[in-house]
Amino acid sequence: MNSKQIIELDNSNELLLEELRQKTLREINDELSKQAQNLVFGKGSSKAEIFFIGEAPGAKEDELGIPFVGRAGKELDKMLSYLSLNLEECYIANVLKYRPPKNRDPKKDEIIAHLPYLFEQIEIIKPKILVPLGNYATKLVLSNFNVDEMKKIQGVSELHATLHTISLGRDNITFQVFPIFHPSAMMYNPKLRDVFKEDFKLLAQFLGKEFKEEKQKSLI
């Protein structure tokens, strides 16, 4: 195999993700897409071991077209820096690809319409672990992305920092799932900051990484 072929293999996931981004732009034509400023597709490595899943974009994400760039994103970046992780090692995306007006909860038909694109992101990247952020994402992921089964799943308060296994896709690929609180929860309940930090320490153990609490640059 020559160097050109190696480079093409290395870039294959990036090309697939870009094709999927363009497909998402073409195919999602609902009220959310009409009201939003930008598609918020995802950010990070196309070969990430860790795939963080949020619920939906907020105002800053809608403005910039990038997930987790607001206050919650800065909290997440801080925890990732403690694990010495950067966007070369993780990927971050939301269930919904467009912001719901006034940050309201996603509707069932919106989730169903947007989920196939999240599935494809996961299938392309094939991460080692899925990390749903917050109650909504936790219930959705652990229901195997079945909206009708979400109500049967316990919330993130009960399930955070516990390891689970689900199977997805045409090939029934198995993924580990490690739910944690959404970083925005700390803004409303500062006591959760210590819980959030402890969850990341456990995630570090699972990943075989050292948790180092020190100041590092925020991810972009």
Query: With a threshold of 0.75, does the pTM exceed it?
Result: yes
pLDDT in tens, 180-205: 999 888 888 888 888 988 898 888 88
pLDDT at 170 over 80: no
pLDDT in tens, 99-131: 999 889 899 999 999 999 999 999 999 999 999
Q: Where are the domains of the chain?
A: 3-207
Contact partners, residue 22, CB within 8 Å, separation at least 6: none
Axis-axis angle for helices 108-125, 3-27 (nearest 10): 180
First to last CA, the chain: 35
17 CB neighbour count, 10 Å cutoff: 19
The tokens of 196 are what? 């959030």
Chain-centroid distance, C-alpha 190: 22
Query: 3-207: what CATH class?
Result: alpha beta
Nearest of 27, 33, 21, 53 to residue 101 by alpha carbon: 33
